[in-house]
Amino acid sequence: MNPTIPTLTKAPPTADQGAAPAAAEDGYEAVTGLDKETVALKRTYEAEVEAKVASDYSHIVWAYGILWSLFCGFAIVLLVRGSRQQRDLQALRRELERRGEQAVDGP
């Protein structure tokens, strides 16, 4: 709604508007092409589109990046928790072994 990209405020003129009055007077056909104004307008258009696409792409990259890094972050949290549990389990095993030896030795 309030885009940061500069916008065209007036409609682009059509090509024949600039070309028509110059035609056929001295036997020369005017080169049908784009007058400077149109070219400038076209360039502005292109720049605008480019800026919009670039901005969109950067937004997309950010959005996708954040989404998947969130998932990865959560996965890392899970891994950390899992390894903590593994350590806990090792401690439990050691404790059981210790007790097993004690029981063999007699209380």
Partner 1 sequence: MSALLRSFGRPGVLLFAALVTFPYALQRVFLHTPIESEMGTAQKIFYFHLPMAWGLMLFAMISGVAAALQLLRRSERAEDVAKAAGEVCALLGIGALMSGAIWGDATWGTPWTGDARLVTTALLELVFIAYLIVAKFGGPMAGRLAAALAVFGALDVPIIYYSVKIWKTTHPKAQVVQSLPPEMWASLWPCLFAILACSFALFELRLRQERVERRLDEAWLALSAGDAAPAEHTALSGRSA
Partner 2 sequence: MTPSLDDLRVDARSGVGPPSVLQNGSVTTLRQTWILARNDLRQELRELELLITSVFFTVVILALYAVSFAEMSKSAQPKAVPGMLWIALAFVGALTLTRVFEREREADTFGALLAAPVNRVAMYGAKFSVTLAVLCVCAAVLVPGLLLVFPSSGVEGWSALEMLATVLLGCAGFAAVGTLFAAGLAHGGGKNVLLSVVLYPLTTPVLMMSLVATQRVLQAHPGAWDILAKIAAVDVILLIVGGALFESVLVGGAARGSGGGDSSTGAGGARAPRTGEVGPDMLGDDVR
Within a 13 Å sphere around the CA of 104, how many CA atoms are in the beta-carbon half? Answer: 5
Q: Of 66, 76, 90, 105, which one interacts with partner 1 (CB under 8 A)?
A: 66
Report if residue 3 touches partner 2, rule: CB under 8 A: no
Site residues (CB under 8 A) for partner 2, limited to 40-99? 82, 85-86, 89, 92-93, 96
- If DSSP codes are grouped into helix, strand and coil, which group holds residue 24? coil
When asked if residue 94 is in the footprint of partner 1 (CB under 8 A), the reply is no
Task: Compute the Cα dihedral for 55, 56, 61, 67 and give only its sign.
Answer: positive
Q: Site map for partner 1, 28-57, x if CB under 8 A? A: ------------------------xx-xxx
| Number of helices followed by number of strands (H, E) in the chain | 2, 0
